[in-house]
Amino acid sequence: MIFLCKVTDVPAGRAKRIARGRKPAVAVFDVDGVLHAAADQCTHGTALLSRGKIIDGKVVCPLHSGSFNLLSGAAVDLPCEEPLAVYRLEVRGEDIYAEVPD
């Protein structure tokens, strides 16, 4: 597991982008107080999902309005068809960790 950020870094009902140098960025989403970690790039294009809206447990892509279920990663609304990579997340005290592949 890798350290992503502090719990206080994630705004309520929003997302926090975590850049990882040359590796793909990760986003931590707050869905009604429950945190989720996922890839920060839409599978349909290059939009940053951390800039999207969180509605009913889904993140809505800010570019084409497709959406993904943040629990399963399933593409829910077109034009998104490919699932989003979601990562197991663990909170240790105030620190957020996730299992993110290299």
* Local confidence band at 28 (pLDDT 50, 70, 90 cut-offs): very high
* Local confidence band at 45 (pLDDT 50, 70, 90 cut-offs): confident
- Predicted confidence (pLDDT) per residue in 49-83, tens digit: 999 999 999 999 999 999 999 999 999 999 999 99
Range of the domain at 15: 2-98
For 10, residues 6+ apart whose C-beta sits below 8 A from its C-beta are 16, 28, 29, 30, 35, 96
Domains: count for the chain: 1
61's tokens: 């892509």
Among 70, 49, 71, which Cα is nearest to 61's? 49
Q: What is the DSSP letter of 19?
A: E
* Local confidence band at 21 (pLDDT 50, 70, 90 cut-offs): confident
CATH of the domain at 54: 2.102.10.10
pLDDT(15) > 90: yes
Q: What is the pTM of this model?
A: 0.93
Say how far apart CA 102 and CA 91 lie, in whole Å. Answer: 20
